[in-house]
Structure 1
Amino acid sequence: MSYDNLAGRTAIVTGAASGMGAATARLLAAHGARVALLARRTDRLDDLAAKITADGGQALAVTTDVTAPASVRAAAARVRETFGGADLVVNAAGVMLPNPVAAGRSDEWARMIDTNLSGALHVIDAFRADLAAAGAAHRPADLVNISSIGAHLSFPDYAVYGATKAALTHLSEILRTEFGPLGVRVTNIEPGLTGTELGDHIDNVSLAAQLDGMHAAIPALTSEDVADLIAFTVTRPARVNLRQLIVLPTAQS
């Protein structure tokens, strides 16, 4: 599918070091968007930026910790110096660390809340003026938040992860009432089982095996599937806001 009207747009993609973030950055750049790659892993970002540039795209690698407001503000300043104001923001940074609440893993709780919710808020705050300026100029302006079906489905031992994603889903809903009148579209995307690195950080052997079993039984979505959905969403006519999208593997009920 052609997404030629991405040409000339400036996109921010968090979590760009891997998975959905990296796939989204590649696709947006391939269709002419200037893409700022935000994540913590500098080597991964530099490699991706080099590949995008080699393919004829424009990319800026900006090492960023979304859990730290000062880091996000510094990234926003660098993007503006290089590309100008952003008109497309994709919050793809996230972490999934399942464990029973009874395990008392407050370290994991804090990490998920700081990344999945607070991190998204820091990014929104840093770029909201850019999005509003694009909307005021009657140019496309999009905020895309990557949530999860865990936001509204109950998976045992995923309580805190699901809570952070439910909060992000609800945040997106409320933001539409604030940003819509400014000409800024807000889209919340809830993927089901997807082949990414999220599961690599699980330290509960039983739950890691359970997730591996799901991947063995169900042909999962790919990161590129989600990236394609994002690109489709942000290239609709300005009057159209695809407000919430749930995307599942066909075999996942």
Structure 2
Amino acid sequence: MNLRSTQVALLAASFVLTGCGSGAVATADRSADNAAGAPAPSASAASSQPSAQSAPDQIPDLGPETLAEIPANSRQAVVVTGKARGSSTSEVVLYRRTADGWQAGAAWPAHNAYKGWSDHHMVGDLQSPIGVFTLTDAGGLLKDPGSKLPYHQSGSFVAPGKGFEGEALAGSFDYVVAINYNRKPGTSPLDWTRPLGAERGGGIWLHVDHGGPTHGCVSVSEAHMKQLLRTLDPALHPVVVMGDAASLAN
């Protein structure tokens, strides 16, 4: 094993006790994941333009299979589009569904997992799950900045060591939103319940960007995390739609 491989293995092991892929990430097949915390398949979805007058009734670049997974009652969708299947960089856009269609917010730069995306993640594979998942719970090391989702502040939201590119991980979990992949909705992001089994991973979050690839999570700037926390509304049944561009187009 070369030095680079050893560093990657040590990083993965250190995160098993925290979040961002603690146990990993994954979406075996989407039907199995939906049964374990992801939203049930549903009706419509879609959008693009920020103007309500021109807002489309479907979210651009999402294919029929992906759109069908967005629940009919969802009025907010965090769309995370990876640049390529094996890429660790992506773009995040928050959409709001109105009577006129889906309205797009600004596009934010983001990171995803070191080895890109997978539709069947397992523990330690260093990939982010592809799919549509509900967003019900938040938390972080720092005090609640005004989250509409239930917020759990705890000193356990720590990210030790350095990232894949040598960047410090400290502060990555200052603010997090739990992605309901292989977890029990309605609990702290730190809850370790794994409906699909421990081998399928968990601890997949939206969290503060540390300047490099993640172990399975999606990361955006601190300012954008605060904006998400203050905007995502349980009454609007928010979801995250995540994957590489080609997969989301299915």
Whether the TM-score (by the shorter chain) exceeds 0.5 is: no
More helix by share: 1
More strand by share: 2
TM-score interval (norm. to shorter): under 0.3
Scaled by the length of structure 2, the TM-score of the pair is 0.28
Higher RCO, 1 vs 2 (CA within 8 Å, ≥6 residues apart): 2
Q: Which has the larger radius of gyration?
A: 1
